[in-house]
Amino acid sequence: MPNRTLAQARAAMDQATFGNSAQERWARHEMERIISEVTAPIVASAKTFRKRADMEAKDYAETLAEHEATVRKLRRKMQRRQIIAKEARAEIGKLRREEENLTLLYDDLTHAYEKGLHDEGHPEEVADFLYKTYPVAPPYFPI
């Protein structure tokens, strides 16, 4: 009874022969129990990941609103000629750098949320990927 990844264990279970239906039910129940033990932390981590991304998205929205207000103020000052060109260029440069940082933050938030959704929806694929990537002994299945 070798150790297998989750997908290999499911395939082996489908090909296995059992003496009676009670043995098959027990083996399937044990396999599902082990799989749920392996995937439960992945699902919990994905939910935490998404919650953290939601909180960071709220902060991002507040920062973006402040940035837009600053841009409007600068535009108004420039239209009314209340600011000299040198100061305006310095302000515009600062705002562009801030926009670049906000764009990077947006990309990170999008990736984090998508990763959380994927991991929560496909925990067995994530576990198989982790077992293939990091050579740790996968769980021992009763088949």
pLDDT in tens, 74-98: 999 988 888 888 898 999 999 999 9
Is residue 2's pLDDT more than 60?
no
Cα separation, 5 vs 137, whole angstroms:
9
Cα separation, 74 vs 92, whole angstroms:
8
Q: What is the pLDDT of residue 56?
A: 92
Which residue is associated with the tokens 């396999």? 31
Q: What is the pTM (predicted TM-score) of this model?
A: 0.68
Q: Using 50, 70 and 90 to split pLDDT, how confident is the model at 137?
A: low
Q: What is the pLDDT of residue 73?
A: 93
* 123 assigned to some structural domain: yes
Token output for 61: 């929205």
* 62 assigned to some structural domain: yes
Is residue 1's pLDDT more than 60?
no
CB 1 within 8 A of CB 141: yes
* 84 assigned to some structural domain: yes
pLDDT in tens, 33-50: 988 988 999 999 999 988
* 1 assigned to some structural domain: no
* 138 assigned to some structural domain: no
User: Percent of the chain, pLDDT > 70?
Assistant: 91
Cα separation, 40 vs 18, whole angstroms:
28
The range of the structural domain enclosing residue 97 comes to 6-133
- Give the distance, in angstroms, between the CA of residue 133 and the centroid of all CA atoms in the same chain: 18
Q: Using 50, 70 and 90 to split pLDDT, how confident is the model at 136?
A: low
* 50 assigned to some structural domain: yes
In total, how many domains does the chain have? 1
Q: What is the 3-state secondary structure (H, E, C) of 95-122?
A: HHHHHHHHHHHHHHHHHHHHHHHHHHHC
Is residue 113's pLDDT more than 50?
yes
Radius of gyration of the chain (CA): 26
Q: Identify which has the larger pLDDT, 138 or 108.
A: 108
* 39 assigned to some structural domain: yes
* 143 assigned to some structural domain: no
